[in-house]
Amino acid sequence: MKSPKLIFVTAVVAAVAAAGVTALLVNIFERKQEARETFFRVVELTDEIDDAAVWGKNFPFQYDSYLRTVDQVRTRFGGSEAIQRTPTGADPRSIVAQSRLEEDPRLKTMWNGYAFAVDFREERGHAYMLDDQTFTERQKVVTQPGTCMHCHASVYLPYKRLGNGNLTAGFEAMNKMSYTEARTKVEHPVTCIDCHDPTNMKLRVTRPGFLEGMKAYKASQGVENYDVNASATHQEMRSFVCGQCHVEYYFKGAEKRLTYPWTKGLKADEILSYYEENGFKDWTHAETGTPALKAQHPEFEMWNQGIHAKSGVTCADCHMPYVRQGAMKVSDHHVRSPLLNINNACQVCHNWPEQELLDRVHTIQDRTYSMRNVAMDALVQLIGDLKLARSNGTSVSAVTAAQASQRRAQFLLDFIEAENSMGFHAPQEAMRVLGLSIEHTRQGQRALTQK
Amino acid sequence: MTRWLIAAGVFAGLVMGIGSYTFIYARGSSYMTNDPAACANCHVMTDYYVKWQRSSHRSVAVCNDCHTPKGVIPKYITKASNGFWHSLYFTTGNFPDNIQITSGNRTVAADACLKCHESLTRSMSPGHTTPGSCLKCHGKIGHPQ
């Protein structure tokens, strides 16, 4: 009676093995098919379609990851945390990011009199760029121009429509509008068409601010009539499309033309000297009367000073690394901190354990943060000294000199503070800029105490 | 009894049949060779294969020269073990996109340098002759970025 049992067991084992081998066979078959066909054209894309959902039909993996920019995850110095709030008629958001002003009240002192002292939250993912700009409290305290749309909405099509096919004309028209009016012209946050040519998916720059900024920057280096879309390499474009918006800027003149201040260079002090020369101010500091400047997210400029830029590593290499989808490799359109994705982002080049890589980044960031705090404390002291000096009979020339120092110190500090990497994009440059900031603060305090 | 035997035979035959087909379809026999292209049968290895093609070692050392130990038996044990784990991970998809070498495989690769370079390095400083130390400085030699 033993053999029927043995035969039965043999049959079961054979059946399980057959199932396993078939599963393997099918899996190998799938991978081979995936490697053969990586793209299926389901819809015809044209330069008139800005809805990412339509593009997503041809590029489902990219679209799927693009949608994930709604995720809110904190890193040590960035990312965002989902904070619940009660929606109101004026602001229907039920979730926002944490307030930076509550985390560090010194920022309120630095920006006193400016809209950023009223509401400034940690930036959220691309999915929120339009809503968070539309509903920020800053809108209530100052009248914002339509220029803001340049980077808070998908403006390629709206610009073309406004300019009757001419991108620059549309850009100029929207700059002159009020924010509320311009808001009715746009619909989407950043979408596929902002960085891709619909006919061949080649990267392209669609933002006039960057086109003009790069042209001016290259001209200052002796390259006349530089056209990003005609001259940049593919690898350069993998940073330039991000640099369309992740930069320092200001609104020039009465027509509020968005301008990237790069004619003297991309470094913080070079940008400062540009502003010193043209006398631009963002606002007048409420406590000290200083004609002050606000620095804005200069990620592109800081990255340019760092080792990764020198080695030809682009924004997309770390923030949109390749991910595996079956036998395919697609670039991750869930743009986020590389610290949340160390294997894909860092270990392509750095063959060290994930924890060690994270620790290295944190070391750089902790050092930058501690120096930023030194510079911030010094600046707050200078602001206090200046406030006092304006009421205790200190000479006008001393006050003016100290105000000039505050303007410089504050811009340089804000350049590092506003930059979203806490020094990582260019560690030594960040320290140099913070050192310069402290030097200007020192000079300001000295001006007030000199007899 | 005979019916049972036939049933078992059919099942066993199925396994062998499907197994042989899979083996041929997946180019199983290529894994018995030294051809580096065989390692890139799996798409995961394409990047490493391409980088090796650009390396200084491309005309003097193939995958097996650095990634398997000396001797026929240790070589095929290593190949079989890696073959099994790779099949399992690549089929289930449970592995990091940028694959990480295991410590055992790293030791094999590190020791492999001396297969060719022992006589040259013998006269050099101790760091050059300690088995496994080459990769500390020359870690990217096989797959430069």
In a domain, residue A417? The reply is no
What's the distance, CA A431 to chain centroid? 21
DSSP A121: B
Best mutation site among A2, A22, A317, A332 for testing chain B: the one with the most B CBs within 10 Å?
A22
Find the residue in B nearest to A28 (Cα).
Answer: B26
pLDDT tens digits for range A59-71: 999 999 999 999 9
In a domain, residue A35? The reply is no
The token duo for A10 is 């043999």
pLDDT tens digits for range A266-279: 999 999 999 999 99
Q: Return the bridge partners of A283, or none.
A: A292
Q: Return the bridge partners of A95, or none.
A: A84
CB contact under 8 A, B11 and A15: yes
> Tell me, what's the pLDDT at B31?
87
> Across the interface, which of A4, A321, A349 has its CB nearest the CB of B1?
A4
The residue among A180, A203, A416 whose CA lies nearest residue A295 is A416
Confidence of residue A228 (pLDDT cuts 50, 70, 90): very high
In a domain, residue A163? The reply is yes
Does residue A38 sit at the B interface (CB-CB below 8 Å)?
A: no
Positive or negative, the CA dihedral B51, B56, B62, B68 is negative
DSSP string of B19-86, one letter each residue: HHHHHHHTTGGGGGS--HHHHTTSGGGHHHHHHHHTSTTTTT--HHHHHS-SSHHHHHHHHHHHHHHH
CB contact under 8 A, A323 and B44: no
Does residue A83 sit at the B interface (CB-CB below 8 Å)?
A: no
> Tell me, what's the pLDDT at B127?
65
Report the distance separating Cα A173 and Cα A161, nearest Å.
10
> Tell me, what's the pLDDT at A2?
57
Minimal CA separation from A18 to chain B, in Å: 5
Q: How many domains does chain A have?
A: 1
| Cβ density class A82-104: b for 16+ within 10 Å, e for less | eeeeeeeeebebeebbbebbeeb
User: Which of chain B's residues have a Cβ under 8 Å away from the Cβ of A331?
Assistant: none
The token duo for A373 is 């705090």
Find the residue in B nearest to A21 (Cα).
Answer: B19
CB contact under 8 A, B96 and A343: yes
Q: Yes or no: say if A67 and A188 are a contact pair by the CB < 8 Å rule.
A: no
> Tell me, what's the pLDDT at A30?
85
> Tell me, what's the pLDDT at A325?
84
Share of chain A above pLDDT 70, in %: 99
Share of chain A above pLDDT 90, in %: 81
Confidence of residue A311 (pLDDT cuts 50, 70, 90): very high
Minimal CA separation from B112 to chain A, in Å: 19
The token duo for A308 is 């990764």
Is a pLDDT exceeding 70 seen at residue A428? yes
- The mean per-residue pLDDT over the stretch A321-326 comes to 88
Classify domain B36-138 by CATH number: 1.10.3820.10
Q: Yes or no: say if A122 and A79 are a contact pair by the CB < 8 Å rule.
A: yes
In a domain, residue A118? The reply is yes
Task: Count the neighbouring beta carbons within 10 Å of the beta carbon of residue A230.
Answer: 7
In a domain, residue A255? The reply is yes
Rounded to the nearest integer, the mean pLDDT of chain A is 93
The residue among A27, A123, A64 whose CA lies nearest residue B25 is A27
Minimal CA separation from A308 to chain B, in Å: 14
Minimal CA separation from A15 to chain B, in Å: 6
The residue among A243, A248, A239 whose CA lies nearest residue A309 is A239
- How many residues appear in chain B? 145
Positive or negative, the CA dihedral B45, A358, A429, A124 is positive
Q: Is A252 helix (H, G, I), strand (E, B) or coil?
A: strand
> Tell me, what's the pLDDT at B129?
65
Report the distance separating Cα A292 and Cα A113, nearest Å.
10
Q: Give the CATH number for residue A136.
A: 1.10.1130.10
pLDDT tens digits for range B72-115: 999 999 999 999 999 888 888 889 988 989 989 999 998 898 88
Is a pLDDT exceeding 70 seen at residue B132? no
Q: Residues 6 or more apart from A285 whose CB is under 8 A from it?
A: A112, A113, A114, A291, A292, A383, A406
> Across the interface, which of A35, A344, A351 has its CB nearest the CB of B43?
A35
In a domain, residue A382? The reply is no
Q: Residues 6 or more apart from B121 whose CB is under 8 A from it?
A: B114, B128, B129, B134
Does residue A323 sit at the B interface (CB-CB below 8 Å)?
A: yes
> Tell me, what's the pLDDT at A229?
96
Confidence of residue A222 (pLDDT cuts 50, 70, 90): very high
The verdict on ipTM greater than 0.90 is: no
CB contact under 8 A, B91 and A23: yes
Q: Please, what is the Cα angle at A355 between A350 and A358, to 5 degrees?
A: 70
Q: What is the reported pTM?
A: 0.88
Q: Which domain holds residue A127?
A: 52-336
